[in-house]
A and B are shown apart, each in its own frame.
Chain A
Amino acid sequence: MPSALARPLARLIDELGKLPGVGPKTAQRLAYYILRAPGPDAEALAAAIRSVKTDLRYCSVCFNIAETDPCAICSSDERDAFVVCVVEEPLDVLAIERTGQYRGRYHVLHGAISPVNGVRPDDLKIPQLAERVKRGGIEELIFATNPNLEGEATAMYLAQLLGGSGARLTRLARGLPMGGDLEYADEVTVSRALEGRRAVS
Chain B
Amino acid sequence: MRVVELALENLRSYADLTLPLAPGATALIGPNGGGKTNVLEAIHLLARGDSPRAREDRELVRWGATTARARADVLRAESERRIELLLFAPLEDERRPRRRLLLDGAGKRPEDAGGELVVVAFFPEDVELLGAAPPARRRFLDAMLGQVERAHRRESRELRRILEQRNALLRAAREDMTPPEAELAFWDRELVRLAASISLRRAALVAELAEPFREATARFSGASGLELRYAGQVGGDTVDERAAAYEQLLREKRDRERWQGTTLVGPHRDDLSVTSAGRPLPTFASRGEHRSAVLALKLAEAGWLTARTGETPVFLLDDVLSELDPARRDALARAIPRDAQALLTAAVVTSLPDELRERAAVLPVRMGEVG
Contact = CB atoms under 8 A, between A and B. Distances in A.
B185 A156 contact: yes
A149 interface: yes
Main secondary structure of the interface of A (DSSP, over half): helix
B165 A156 contact: no
Contact of B182 (A23, A150, A157, A188): A157
Contacts of A114: 165
Given A23-B94, A149-B165, A118 B172 contact: yes
Interface in B137-190: 150-151, 154, 158, 161-162, 164-166, 168-169, 172, 182-183, 185-187, 189-190
A160 B189 CA distance: 13
Interface string A154-174: 001100110000000000000
A23 to B, nearest CB: 7
Nearest to B171: A115
Contacts of A153: 165, 186-187
A149 B161 contact: yes
B93 interface: yes
A121 B164 CA distance: 17
A143 to B, nearest CB: 13
A109 interface: no
Given A24-B93, A187-B150, A188-B154, A152 B168 contact: no
B235 to A, nearest CB: 27
A142 interface: no
Contact of B165 (A23, A116, A157): A116
Interface string A111-136: 00111101011000000000000000
Contacts of B94: 23
Interface of B: 93-95, 150-151, 154, 158, 161-162, 164-166, 168-169, 172, 182-183, 185-187, 189-190
Closest 3 CB pairs of A and B: A115-B168, A115-B169, A156-B186
Given A115-B166, A152-B186, A187-B154, 17 more contacts: A23-B95, A24-B93, A115-B168, A116-B168, A118-B168, A118-B172, A120-B172, A120-B183, A121-B183, A149-B190, A153-B165, A153-B186, A156-B186, A156-B189, A160-B182, A187-B150, A188-B154
